[in-house]
Amino acid sequence: MTNTPFNDLLSLASQTAIVTGGALGIGLGITTRLAQAGANVVIADINEESGTKASADLNAQGYKTAFIKTDVSLQTDVDAAVKFATTTFGSLNILVNNAGIYPNTPVMDMDIAVFEKIINVNLKSVFMLTKSAAAVMIQQGKGGKIVNITSIDALHPSGVGLAAYDSSKHGLWGFTKNVALELAPHNITVNAVAPGGISTPGTGMGSGDISPAMKELVEKFTQKIPMKKFGDPDDIGKVVLFLASDMSSYMTGSQIVVDGGVLLS
Ligand SMILES: NC(=O)c1ccc[n+]([C@@H]2O[C@H](COP(=O)([O-])OP(=O)(O)OC[C@H]3O[C@@H](n4cnc5c(N)ncnc54)[C@H](O)[C@@H]3O)[C@@H](O)[C@H]2O)c1
């Protein structure tokens, strides 16, 4: 048995990661922690302005990141992002499937195109990225780490209007468990992180520019959180670092809930 030296447990030196939706919010929190741990990080995001800025800011602090404009719901973009990682940094060892959308519309008002878009961005993308990235990891023969960002809504609905979102996140949790089984013989672990309420641009809280309706929703939700506050993207970034590092060497097919206790209430 070889035990990793204590100081190396969180090191991702010489590892390359792709973080989808890594330009803003939770994704940026994840990108930052992986880069600090020494990984080369590819930010694969649909938002060119924010992605370019995030990468430039991190590189100015001495970290190694690169941005590629990616719509995760398109196979061509997914393949291009995986190729970009290997051509830019020489390998691919970690995939974090974080990009996701959560429009709030009751089923009775929802157009089929909206339902399909949510499934395509939140779930179909993960199938495409996993297949493409795992093929590279298997070929490299050194194992790998895949981390999927689900939600507490993968376990329990947090409110009306999220039926399509909840379908995508329940699906993503099911996908995580089954593909963990399939990829275990290749020493590729597949785990999930299920956030509760996190302050991000998507929740209207990351920019300080929050509408009165969203403010009311956030205040009501905060009352339900035993820790009485929304989480920060870094609360998720730290747990993803754990799952991407040797700290979690014997974990696969697991989901870590990071929600300030809200599922208890
Ligand atoms: N914020 C929360 O409270 C919360 C709670 C539970 C789960 N989550 C999950 O965490 C993830 C990130 O959420 P967030 O709040 O940081 O969102 P956000 O809207 O603040 O940021 C999402 C990022 O993903 C990118 N993105 C969106 N569509 C994309 C696409 N098609 N292709 C590539 N990139 C795309 C955006 O440009 C942005 O950079 C999502 O999967 C979400 O479901 C968030």
Residue with tokens 């599922």: 263
Query: What would the mean pLDDT of 53-75 be, rounded to a whole number?
Result: 98
Global confidence as pTM = 0.98
pLDDT band per the 50, 70, 90 thresholds, residue 150: very high
DSSP summary character for residue 90: S
Q: Which of 4, 6, 88 is nearest to 43 (CA)?
A: 88
Atom of ligand 1 nearest to the CA of 206: 20
| CB neighbours of residue 151 within 10 Å | 27
The pLDDT score that the predictor gives to residue 24 is: 98
pLDDT band per the 50, 70, 90 thresholds, residue 100: very high
Rounded (10°) angle between helices 48-60 and 25-36: 30
Helices and strands, number each (H, E), in the chain:
8, 7
d(CA 151, CA 154): 5
Hey, which residues are catalytic here? Answer: 165
What tokens were used for 221?
Answer: 């939700």
Distance from Cα 185 to the centre of ligand 1, integer Å: 31
Residue with tokens 């719901």: 73
CA atoms within 13 A on the CB side of 235: 16
Distance from Cα 23 to the centre of ligand 1, integer Å: 9
Q: Which of 133, 236, 226, 142 is nearest to 187 (CA)?
A: 142
Q: Which of 19, 20, 24, 26 most suits a substitution to test ligand 1, by most atoms within 8 Å of the C-beta? A: 26
Which stretches of 82-187 are assigned E, i.e. beta strand? 94-97, 144-149
* Torsion angle (degrees, nearest 10) of CA 11, 17, 20, 21: 50
pLDDT band per the 50, 70, 90 thresholds, residue 1: low
Q: What residue spans define the domains of the chain? A: 15-196+231-259
pLDDT for 32-42, tens place per residue?
999 999 999 99
Distance from Cα 4 to the centre of ligand 1, integer Å: 33
The pLDDT score that the predictor gives to residue 213 is: 76
Nearest CA to ligand 1 atom 7: 151
The pLDDT score that the predictor gives to residue 221 is: 92
Asked whether the beta carbons of 14 and 42 are under 8 A apart, the reply is: no
CATH 3.40.50.720 is held by the domain 15-196+231-259: yes
pLDDT for 212-251, tens place per residue?
877 888 899 999 999 999 999 999 999 999 999 999 999 9
Q: Residue 181 above 70 pLDDT?
A: yes
Asked whether the beta carbons of 37 and 11 are under 8 A apart, the reply is: yes
Q: Residue 208 above 70 pLDDT?
A: no
